[in-house]
Amino acid sequence: MRAAQTTCFHEADPALSLARRAGVEALGTMLLVLAASGGGIAASRLLSAAPGALLPVVAIVLAGALVSLIVAFGAVSGGHFNPLITVLQWLARERGGACAAAYVAAQLAGGAIGGRAAAVLWNVAPPAPGGLGWGGTAGELVASAGLMLVVFGCARSGRTSTGPLAVGAWLIAAVIAFPTTSYANPAVVLGALVTAGPLSLGLGSALPYVVGEIGGALLALLLVLVLMPRTGAEA
């Protein structure tokens, strides 16, 4: 009998096969990056006469895809689709090392497949390398820190219904508010290296973005441990 899921971003049954849980993380990440990249390509074509509308449309596409994927797959794997969430759970002793490693590998593979699949489906060649280089590190740091605070704040609230919608709402705001358009996910950055359209990144921006994301995630973990510690019963 499956155990009751009492918090979001944790699987309902941790005893479920790790291969199945990691497989769901790979599938979910692939679909997320495919939707984000494909949505960007579609929006850039449909809105060529109104470029100012591109960013809000991409934000809505990304948030919609992520919310639906977390709702659909969250009970199986926790619905991370982001190595930052997985690694922070491991650092917070909420997840074992073998599980975290399998999840991260699956997420990175899914991101790369999803990014490339979008370029192939739309038959678009990768454009000139995009991104802000090291100038985007601070933006990714803040965007990632905010995302991790939302994720862990919802998880520690004990209300399973809050997580997907809160994460989607944050991403809509962050995509529009931050100069990097808030990748906030190393798996998405990896997918962006092999895709086309507005999501595409060059190598000169990928490393700075990931550095910012890791820094933001660690900052968020520190804030979570200080401001939102788990009670003895929860621990």
At 49, the pLDDT band (50, 70, 90 cuts) reads confident
> Do the domain assignments include residue 193?
yes
C-alpha 179 chain-centroid distance: 17
CA distances from 50 to 42, 53, 180, 225 (A): 13, 6, 20, 44
pLDDT at 126: 65
CATH of the domain at 122: 1.20.1080.10
> Do the domain assignments include residue 187?
yes
> Do the domain assignments include residue 10?
no
> Do the domain assignments include residue 146?
yes
Whole-model pTM? Answer: 0.92
> Do the domain assignments include residue 51?
yes
pLDDT at 90: 97
**Cα–Cα distance, 139 to 47 (Å, whole number):** 26
> Do the domain assignments include residue 95?
yes
For residue 66, give its domain range: 18-227
Give tens-digit pLDDT for 136-185.
Answer: 999 999 999 999 999 999 998 877 788 999 999 999 999 999 999 999 99
Do residues 206 and 189 lie in contact, with contact meaning Cβ atoms separated by under 8 Å? yes
Q: What contacts 160, CB < 8 A, 6 or more positions away? A: 5, 6, 7, 8
Q: Which position has the token pair 């520190």? A: 222
Give tens-digit pLDDT for 199-220.
Answer: 899 999 999 999 999 999 999 9
Give tens-digit pLDDT for 58-73.
Answer: 999 999 999 999 999 9
> Do the domain assignments include residue 139?
yes
**155 CB neighbour count, 10 Å cutoff:** 24
3 state DSSP class of 223:
helix
Higher pLDDT residue, 55 or 90?
Answer: 90
Do residues 137 and 205 lie in contact, with contact meaning Cβ atoms separated by under 8 Å? no
> Do the domain assignments include residue 145?
yes
In terms of phi and psi (left: phi > 0; alpha: psi -120 to 50; beta: otherwise), the region of 184 is left
- What total number of domains does the chain contain? 1
The yes-or-no verdict on residue 231 having pLDDT over 70 is no
